[in-house]
């Protein structure tokens, strides 16, 4: 049996929250319930003492089913489709594992 997941590359996430909004709209989730939630880490002052850095981490929750209805219809999960930074990919675990090998330390694979 083939298993699917999400490859999330946090290095490219801009914190736009498009994935959150797309998921909530797709699944009609109530207030306070999320299929994916973008966490904001930081800020940290950089070594130059003038600039700041933030990190954004999209985290799928227990409500995430990888948009089973969309995938069955031949579409990508809503979060992947709407990610403005192309920080998320959908595929088989085998495909994603190969792609993960070429990513930096800020990438991970989510499997529901």
Round to whole Å and give the CA distance between 108 and 96. 9
Query: DSSP letters along 62-77, please?
Result: TT----HHHHHTT---
Residues 6 or more apart from 76 whose CB is under 8 A from it? 67, 70, 90
Burial of 59 (0-12, 13-18, 19+ CB in 10 A): middle
Residues 6 or more apart from 101 whose CB is under 8 A from it? none
Q: pLDDT at position 96, please?
A: 97
Per DSSP, which regions of the chain are E strands? 4-9, 36-45, 52-60, 88-92, 107-110
Q: pLDDT at position 95, please?
A: 96
pLDDT, tens digit, for every residue of 34-73?
999 999 999 999 999 999 999 999 999 999 999 999 999 9
Q: pLDDT at position 104, please?
A: 84
Tell me which CATH code domain 4-110 carries: 3.30.70.20
pLDDT, tens digit, for every residue of 77-102?
999 999 999 999 999 999 999 999 98
Global pTM? 0.89
Q: pLDDT at position 1, please?
A: 82
């Amino acid at each position: 049996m083939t298993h699917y997941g999400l490859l999330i590359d946090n290095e490219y996430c801009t914190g736009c929250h498009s994935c959150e909004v797309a998921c909530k709209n797709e699944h009609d989730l109530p207030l306070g319930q999320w299929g994916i939630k973008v966490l904001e880490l930081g800020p940290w002052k950089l070594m130059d003492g003038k600039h700041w850095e933030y990190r954004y981490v999209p985290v799928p929750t227990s409500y995430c089913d990888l948009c089973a209805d969309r995938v069955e219809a031949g579409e990508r999960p809503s979060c992947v489709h709407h990610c403005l930074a192309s920080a998320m990919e959908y595929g088989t675990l085998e495909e994603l594992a190969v792609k993960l090998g070429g990513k930096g330390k800020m990438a991970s694979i989510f499997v529901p």
